[in-house]
């Protein structure tokens, strides 16, 4: 157990260092490409502790962040949601889905199951508060709701200021 937690912590640190090191080019690539290392490292770490995670992020291939900070904030929201699902809820299954709707809103849903259900009456911890604040910083919203054996966390971000469709970002 301790070895698995240490392994997860080390992978998390390496992931963040890689993103910071790639700061120069991160606003020139799709959000999907920016999150690739995070996704791959998370997949490896969770497989060690028998947690299944599924990613449906193709919609992010058409989206570009207008700054490194926007990409990093989105990654940190996903990172905290996955952390809460594994550490707090002890979920066995996680799915991360991105959808871009016709009204230029990007929605990311992080669903976890197979663990403890989220209780909306329990006081929110720092992680949930941080996800809410990061979403607000991106002009978006964050919400979490209980589901049988888990929770559904939802981040909604408008396109325009912090994220745009590929080809619309001319601030390079």
| CA 113 – CA 55 distance, rounded (Å) | 15
Q: Write the pLDDT tens digit of every residue in 125-143.
A: 788 999 999 999 999 999 9
| DSSP conformation letters of 33-63 | HHTHHHHHHHHHHHHHTT-EEEEE-GGGGGE
Q: Write the pLDDT tens digit of every residue in 115-124.
A: 877 776 666 6
Measured in whole angstroms, how far is the alpha carbon of residue 99 from the centre of its chain? 13
Band of residue 4 on the pLDDT scale cut at 50, 70, 90: low
pTM of the predicted model as reported, rounded to 2 decimal places: 0.83
The contacts of residue 38 (CB under 8 Å, 6+ apart) are 15, 19, 75, 78, 79
Mean pLDDT of all residues belonging to the chain: 83
Per-residue pLDDT for 26 more than 70? no
Per-residue pLDDT for 24 more than 70? no
The DSSP H or E segment spanning 169 is none
Contact 29, 51 (CB under 8 A): no
Q: Write the pLDDT tens digit of every residue in 83-119.
A: 888 888 888 999 999 999 999 999 999 999 988 777 7
Per-residue pLDDT for 67 more than 80? yes
| DSSP conformation letters of 109-144 | EEEEESSPPP-TTSPP-HHHHHHHHHHHHTT-EEEE
**Can you tell me whether residue 167 is helix, strand or coil?**
coil
């Amino acid at each position: 157990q301790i070895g698995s937690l240490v392994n997860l912590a080390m992978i998390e640190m390496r992931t963040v260092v890689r993103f910071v090191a790639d700061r120069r080019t991160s606003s020139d690539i799709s959000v999907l490409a920016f999150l690739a290392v995070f996704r791959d490292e998370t997949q490896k770490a969770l497989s060690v502790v028998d947690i299944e995670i599924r990613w449906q992020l193709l919609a992010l291939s058409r989206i570009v962040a207008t700054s490194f900070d926007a990409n990093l904030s989105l990654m940190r929201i996903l990172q905290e949601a996955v952390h809460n699902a594994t550490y707090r809820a002890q979920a066995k299954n996680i799915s991360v889905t991105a959808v871009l709707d016709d009204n230029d809103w990007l929605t990311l849903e992080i669903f976890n199951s197979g663990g403890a259900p989220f209780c909306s009456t329990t006081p929110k911890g720092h992680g949930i508060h941080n996800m809410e604040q990061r979403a607000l910083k991106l002009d978006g919203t964050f919400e979490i709701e209980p589901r049988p054996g888990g929770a559904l966390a939802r981040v909604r971000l408008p396109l325009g200021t912090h994220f745009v469709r590929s080809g619309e970002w001319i601030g390079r």
